[in-house]
Amino acid sequence: GRELARRGLLEGAYTHFASADEPDLTFAHEQLRRFQAVLDDLPPTPRPLLAHAANGGAVLSLGRLPGMALARPGLAAYGFAPAHLRAHAPLTPVMTVQASVTHLHTVPAGETVSYGGLWRAARDTSVATVGIGYADGYPRNATGRAEVLVAGQRRPVLGRICMDQLMIDVTGLNVQPGDPVTLWTQRELTVTDVAAWGGTVEYEVLTGVGDRVERQMGETP
């Protein structure tokens, strides 16, 4: 770093906090002190150095860091704070993920659904196939626990979540192929629910949404 700075080739430097999202910030403060000492030891550069260190946890718990030109808000950009800060951080989740019903089928009582026959119909059940699966980032480990929003109701995901699709119980609902199914949204069914069903954390689910899922920008309600 010193040699690059001496030659006028160093434009930026960064560190990434290991524990700024924890209640105890002792190590985060020490990490910041060490990084600032490294910056102070660099030779002058032709342009101001683009130094940055703050991830989402640091933005919320440490505030503006002296001498840092940038921040990398990470999970906070999606509207999520570290668990111990959520009661005080004014953030609103911003992502909704939806897929469409691709097929409707009545499963007779006693028949099974999806790989391994994990779910068996206790009664004749109207089942909708939805065009999203673990290849799109919906966690396979949510099998047996997941729910979705369809036609204004929360309904269970039936059987094993597949690579490209999953099945849901739509008995008694007016549902047609092409209708939207919400996998998670800002309030009624959140990514926190999905992460818990999948035995993981929100950040893994949020950043795991695959390229096949079309992105649309919109305003948060």
Q: What secondary structure does DSSP assign to the chain, as a single string?
A: -HHHHHTT---EEE---SSTTSS--HHHHHHHHHHHHHHHTSPP-SS--EEEEE-HHHHHHT-SPTT--EE--GGGGGT---GGGTTT--------EEEEEEEEEEEPTT-EESGGG-EE-SS-EEEEEES--GGGT--GGGTTT-EEEETTEEEEEES---SS-EEEE-TTS---TT-EEEEE-SSSS-HHHHHHHTTS-HHHHHHT--TTSPP------
Q: What are the boundaries of each domain within the chain?
A: 2-85, 97-207
| Burial class of residue 58 (count of CB atoms within 10 Å of its CB; 0-12, 13-18, 19+) | buried
Question: Structure pTM?
Answer: 0.84
Looking at residue 219, its pLDDT comes to: 62
Give the per-residue pLDDT at 214: 94
Confidence of residue 221 (pLDDT cuts 50, 70, 90): very low
Instruction: Grade residue 114 by pLDDT with cuts at 50, 70 and 90.
Output: very high
130, 99 contact by CB (below 8 A): yes
Q: Which CATH superfamily is domain 97-207 in?
A: Lyase, Ornithine Decarboxylase; Chain A, domain 1 (2.40.37.10)
Mean pLDDT of 33-61: 92
pLDDT the model gives residue 75: 85
The CATH number of 2-85 is: 3.20.20.10
Residue 187 has a pLDDT of: 86
Give residue 9's pLDDT. Answer: 86
For the chain, what is the mean pLDDT? 93
* 42-46, 68-72, 100-104: which is most confident: 100-104
Q: Tell whether the model's pLDDT for residue 220 goes beyond 60.
A: no
